[in-house]
Amino acid sequence: MSRRTMNGQIIDIDKLASRNELTPAIGNMKVNARGDELGPGGKIIRRREDIVAAYYEDNPAAQPAVVQKAKEEPIIQEAVETEVKPTSTIKKVQSEE
């Protein structure tokens, strides 16, 4: 996702976030920008995936809704030849002149 600043510069937010995901976040939580817990010297103690998995083990009612895409298979219909029988007769109407 890219955004344009007031000065007209284009900033790619996704690229900026992925470039700095291992940078320690500012604050007192001791995590990096990705969400991994950091120990002394900025070493990763627990990865974000492990933290999220542990949370959902403790809180099973908070499971996120999983949306699975169904495999899109082409719909193939066979052509069926049927005989068309007229159900009513059409009468010619003569106009009176």
Q: What is the pLDDT of residues 52-62, one digit of tens each?
A: 999 989 988 88
Band (pLDDT 50/70/90 cuts) for residue 19 is: very high
Q: How many CB atoms lie within 10 A of CB 30?
A: 14
Q: Which structure tokens are listed for 48?
A: 């974000």
In a domain, 52, yes or no: yes
The helix or strand, by DSSP H or E, that contains position 30, with its residue range, turns out to be none
82 pLDDT higher than 80: no
pTM (2 d.p.): 0.51
In a domain, 88, yes or no: no
In a domain, 55, yes or no: yes
In a domain, 39, yes or no: yes
**Domain total for the chain?**
1
Residue-range definition of the domain harbouring residue 48: 24-61
In a domain, 7, yes or no: no
In a domain, 66, yes or no: no
Q: What is the mean pLDDT of residues 1-16?
A: 90
In a domain, 70, yes or no: no
How many helices (H) and strands (E) in the chain? 2, 4
Instruction: Write the CB contacts of 14 (distance below 8 Å, at least 6 apart in sequence).
Output: 1
Q: Phi, psi at residue 49, to the nearest 5°?
A: -65, -40
C-alpha count within 13 angstroms, C-beta hemisphere, residue 37:
7
In a domain, 71, yes or no: no
pLDDT score for 48: 93
Note whether 24 and 8 are within 8 A (CB).
no
